[in-house]
Chain A
Amino acid sequence: MRPSRLLLPLLLLCCIAPVVNAKEAQSSADDPAIEKRLMKLSQELRCLVCQNETLADSRADLAEDLRREIREQMKAGKSDQEIIAFLTQRYGDFVLYRPPVKPTTYLLWFGPFVLLLAGLAILFRYVKQRRDSINDQPLTNEEHARVAELLRPGTGKETA
């Protein structure tokens, strides 16, 4: 077997390995209802250490501490809203994967729609302009005569 034939399977293995290694966050099964709530809530929350992971997936120390904190607060009867408020007071809106709608995030939330509308407006204007320019310049009599001349069969002239 040539080395290059080995290369592809090896590369593919490299892709698989991290997935196999990444364990789900440990869940202590003492109260299934709370664990379920914890998993659901922590999927909406960002781990601040590895910022592209949710609090549910991350195995960073801080994520484990925060899950412990959330679990305890849930056991103490706090609502999801109260827990989210607790976290945003300390870590800011950055912990939320779904940023709240407020003046500083208007651009984030509405920017794409503004861009879409602007794009539509530009497209509309362009199409209209193009149509107008076609309509506004009908052929003159001389041009009509020239077209007729060019299109007349059997003159033997291919080009004007």
Chain B
Amino acid sequence: MGRYLIPLVLFIVLVVFLAIGLGRDPHEVPSPLINKAAPGFQLPQLKDPSKKFSAQDMRGKVWLLNVWASWCVSCREEHPLLLEYSRTAAVPIYGLNYKDQREDAIAWLGELGDPYVLSASDVDGRVGIDYGVYGAPETYLIDRNGVIRFKQIGAVTPDVWEKKILPLVKELNGNKFQGIN
């Protein structure tokens, strides 16, 4: 019996490691930008390109930056949830329209509804590269000081919204009052 114990333990360890490895999504690459300053940008607004939108404008606010495109299938999947969340006004959602055609993007919002306070056009994907975007949708939660606090790769799910984003938003908004007192 004793002589089988060590191989058995090694086997179980191996199985546990493999099981963890299989359970992971290889597309979820940990972002090095968490707890770093959100890269600055200034881009034309999607609906009115004569106006600019800059990350700097959002200082002092807790906000979500959602990377989307009309060609992105998962964005379509995520969209009804974003619409619902935008109605609760828990946190303002801004869009980064990533590598898209302006007309397509506007038509997409017209057809499905617009959950965004506004969207900025990143036509050539340069801001996307600065944010480490490698697949839409991606969502960044940015705090008052312009620091990225959370990144969701892939569609936001109700689970992520309830358990990750909302508690963090609450915490980050709470900090303001502590700061003032």
Residues of A at the B interface (CB closer than 8 Å) are 48-49, 51, 61-62, 65-66, 69, 88-94
B135, A49: Cβ atoms closer than 8 Å: yes
15 cross-chain CB contacts under 8 A: A48-B29, A48-B134, A51-B26, A61-B125, A62-B133, A62-B135, A65-B124, A65-B126, A65-B128, A65-B129, A88-B32, A90-B33, A91-B132, A92-B29, A92-B30
A91, B26: Cβ atoms closer than 8 Å: no
Interface of B is mostly: loop
B99, A61: Cβ atoms closer than 8 Å: yes
Q: Does residue B130 face the partner (Cβ distance < 8 Å to A)?
A: yes
Could you say which residues of chain A place their CB within 8 Å of the CB of B133? Answer: 62
A62, B134: Cβ atoms closer than 8 Å: yes
- Please tell me which one of the listed residues A89, A91, A93 contacts residue B134 in the complex, with CB atoms under 8 A apart: A91
How many Å lie between the Cα of A62 and that of B129 in the bound state?
8
Most chain A Cβ neighbours within 10 Å, of B29, B31, B126, B135: B29
Could you say which residues of chain A place their CB within 8 Å of the CB of B135? Answer: 48-49, 62
Could you say which residues of chain B place their CB within 8 Å of the CB of A90? Answer: 32-33, 129-132
Could you say which residues of chain A place their CB within 8 Å of the CB of B131? Answer: 90
Known: A90-B132, A91-B132. A62 touches B33 (CB 8 A): no
- Please tell me which one of the listed residues B31, B125, B126 contacts residue A92 in the complex, with CB atoms under 8 A apart: B31
Could you say which residues of chain A place their CB within 8 Å of the CB of B126? Answer: 65, 69
Could you say which residues of chain A place their CB within 8 Å of the CB of B128? Answer: 65
- In the complex, residue of chain A having the shortest beta-carbon distance to the beta carbon of B36: A89
A62, B125: Cβ atoms closer than 8 Å: yes
Known: A49-B135, A51-B26, A62-B134. A69 touches B129 (CB 8 A): yes
Which 5 A-B residue pairings sit nearest by Cβ, starting from the closest?
A48-B134, A90-B132, A92-B32, A94-B29, A65-B125
Smallest beta-carbon distance A23→chain B, Å: 21
Known: A65-B124, A65-B125, A66-B129. A49 touches B134 (CB 8 A): yes
Could you say which residues of chain B place their CB within 8 Å of the CB of A88? Answer: 32
- In the complex, residue of chain A having the shortest beta-carbon distance to the beta carbon of B130: A90
Smallest beta-carbon distance A11→chain B, Å: 28
